Structure 1
Amino acid sequence: MTAPDGSTLRITSLTALPPPGGQPVAGPPPEMQYLYGSGEAAALSVQAYRAMYSFLRNELGHLRDKRDARSVVLAPGSTIEDPRFYRCGALPQAVVLDIDETALLNLGFEADAVARGGGYDAARWARWEQTGADKVAAVPGAAETLAALRRDGYTVIFNSNRATSSAAQTVAALDHAGLGPAVLGDTLWLRGDGEASGKDTRRAKIAERYCVVAMAGDQLGDFTDLFNAPATSVRARRNLTSETALAPLWGAGWFMLPNPVYGSGLKGGLDDIFPPETRWTDPQEKK
């Protein structure tokens, strides 16, 4: 093909400019395109944060006595079938959030994952926690909502499985995204060395100090570890959220953010996701 200046153009199959090494950079997979790039995911995130704020304004804003507020943290001894909640009394009211992909988008880490390829690398994630504080962005709707909640008198608390050893860098990342302030051991709770990834122990400590009136997360474990019992099947786990006594909490104290990129929800075979009785066969293909 000849260009307007008379030079010859050669058409190739490249869909991206090659890096200095000469190999084309792979494009983001669909789940990353959705979460980090789509207007649809941004709208869902804004919707979740607006729903949280509206819930607190409508359900709690009119209370004359804060002791009438109800905690949304499950108390020790709770089961899915028999959920029990902490008593609030006169404790100050708080909202508890996960950090990663709930309040903070880890753009730098995920862009590196696309370029590098391969699976999750825990050591690489640890280095990201230590050095990536300025390569993040707030989840749409998060910064504005958290600022409004603080103005209304709620304490904003982050409960994350990031490492305690990265506390200073996590605070810096939150500040960079406009989500702070956060103080370790008070409004920031992180996983200690050797501590399991479940959050119930930390939630209990928070609930002893605060009346937690709302929680937000992108994984079921951000609300209770009961959802992640090892023997729970994929279909059973799905049903636990919608067909038990916990179902009324969604949108009324518990608020879920979208995350199709990673986490405990990304599992299940064909029969788990599409039960055999729901299968369809194109009539034209029937013999």
Structure 2
Amino acid sequence: MTAPARPSSPVAGTVPAGMQYLYGSGEAAALSSQAYRALAQHVRASADYRQAGIEVASVVLAPGSSLASPHFVECGAKPLAIVLDIDETVLLNLGYEADEAARGLSYDDARWRRWEATGAGKVDPVPGAVEAINAARKAGVAVVYISNRTAANAPATARALEGAGLGKAIPGETLLLKEEGAGSGKDMRRAQVAETHCVVALVGDQLGDFSDLFSAAGMTPAARRAAADGIQIEPLWGAGWFMLPNPVYGSGLKGGIGEVFPANRRWTDPGAAAAADAPAGTLKE
């Protein structure tokens, strides 16, 4: 997590709507379980194809790709793997977010690092994650975590993952975190995994968990949405790329009215003018 966008003006002692949804609602649990069930099915099919001698495709974009013209790393005979983000993808940071809500705080990098180092016992697994990851390992598929958590806190992050039932993660091997001073992009680390493994699935809660191309400078919210839903990328969702819900923070939380709502789709309530013209004190039925 790196200085993520969040709704402004937090109020101490209240739970923002995004947190209510992600950490408290059955709807969010259902979406997460749905995504992980689809992941397990996809991974099982990939393992079956490999065992039957059928070619398996990588889902990591190769160098030189664009969102309009994606192509993928070759798999060959490399062993299979899946790559997952950590925060709000496999772990729910309940302790950190509860502290933020209770005290009306905004994101602070120093506080987040303290959380990384000391909060391992205050997390839950995302619904469906444990079962899907266990199924992948049972099928002989390696599980690799790529996160922008701090590399210096790797042992604590590994403890958090294992304590949540998500298995062992080895720093520098199956746990690739952000080195001090490095950028937030993940393409280089994905490429590192793809050099030795055929990555059949990517799992995350932000578009950057699938490609740094979604974070290109100057890319508007409308352009990102169009790219994610475009003819080249849309077929990947649920078929190698698996997105988890996160309305609490991240790159998706931006855009004013003019950026979010197309001009030709805006509506003005025809009753609004009449209400505005009514004399003061008039009862509205």
Letter in 2 for 1:104: L
In the alignment, the residues of structure 2 paired with residue 227 and residue 25 of structure 1 have an alpha-carbon distance, to the nearest angstrom, of 33
Task: Work out which of the residue numbers 247, 260, 263 in structure 1 matches 2:250.
Answer: 263
Counterpart in the other structure of 2:209: 222
In the alignment, the residues of structure 1 paired with residue 273 and residue 124 of structure 2 have an alpha-carbon distance, to the nearest angstrom, of 51
Cα deviation, 1:20-74, whole Å, max 9, x if unaligned, reads xxxx961211110000000000000000000111122345524445571110000
Task: Work out which of the residue numbers 7, 10, 17 in structure 2 matches 1:30.
Answer: 17
Contact 2:47 2:139 in 1 (8 A): no
In the alignment, the residues of structure 2 paired with residue 274 and residue 88 of structure 1 have an alpha-carbon distance, to the nearest angstrom, of 41
Cα deviation, 1:78-109, whole Å, max 9, x if unaligned, reads 11111111111111100100000000000000
Cα deviation, 1:96-155, whole Å, max 9, x if unaligned, reads 000000000000000011122232100000110010010101000001110111011111
Task: Work out which of the residue numbers 256, 268, 273 in structure 2 matches 1:281.
Answer: 268
Identical positions, percent: 56
Q: Is structure 2 residue 227 aligned with structure 1 residue 240?
A: yes
Contact 1:66 1:89 in 2 (8 A): no
Contact 2:44 2:136 in 1 (8 A): no
Q: How does 1:169-208 map to 2 (within 5 A)?
A: 169-208=156-195
Counterpart in the other structure of 2:29: 42
Contact 2:14 2:104 in 1 (8 A): no
Letter in 2 for 1:143: V
Cα deviation, 1:144-170, whole Å, max 9, x if unaligned, reads 110111011111110000111001000
In the alignment, the residues of structure 1 paired with residue 262 and residue 55 of structure 2 have an alpha-carbon distance, to the nearest angstrom, of 44
Change in Cα spacing, 1:166 to 1:128, as seen in structure 2 (3 Å) is: same
In the alignment, the residues of structure 1 paired with residue 12 and residue 191 of structure 2 have an alpha-carbon distance, to the nearest angstrom, of 45
Higher Cα Rg, which structure: 1
Contact 1:241 1:247 in 2 (8 A): yes
Letter in 1 for 2:28: A
Counterpart in the other structure of 2:150: 163
Q: How does 1:58-73 map to 2 (within 5 A)?
A: 58=45, 60-64=47-51, 68-73=55-60
Task: Work out which of the residue numbers 23, 31, 38 in structure 2 matches 1:51.
Answer: 38
In the alignment, the residues of structure 1 paired with residue 46 and residue 199 of structure 2 have an alpha-carbon distance, to the nearest angstrom, of 14
Change in Cα spacing, 1:151 to 1:132, as seen in structure 2 (3 Å) is: same
Moved runs in structure 1, 4+ residues, more than 4 A? none
Letter in 2 for 1:261: V
In the alignment, the residues of structure 1 paired with residue 46 and residue 270 of structure 2 have an alpha-carbon distance, to the nearest angstrom, of 52
TM superposition score normalised by structure 1: 0.89
Contact 1:108 1:132 in 2 (8 A): yes
Counterpart in the other structure of 2:76: 89
In the alignment, the residues of structure 2 paired with residue 155 and residue 64 of structure 1 have an alpha-carbon distance, to the nearest angstrom, of 15
Task: Work out which of the residue numbers 107, 110, 113 in structure 1 matches 2:97.
Answer: 110
Contact 1:164 1:193 in 2 (8 A): yes
Count of residues in Structure 1 that have an aligned counterpart in Structure 2: 264
Letter in 2 for 1:26: G
In the alignment, the residues of structure 2 paired with residue 274 and residue 263 of structure 1 have an alpha-carbon distance, to the nearest angstrom, of 20
Q: Which runs of 5+ in 2 are unaligned?
A: 1-10, 275-285
Counterpart in the other structure of 1:147: 134
Letter in 2 for 1:78: S
Q: Which gives a bigger RCO, structure 1 or 2 (Cα 8 Å, sep 6+)?
A: 2
Q: Which runs of 5+ in 1 are unaligned?
A: 1-23
Letter in 2 for 1:73: V
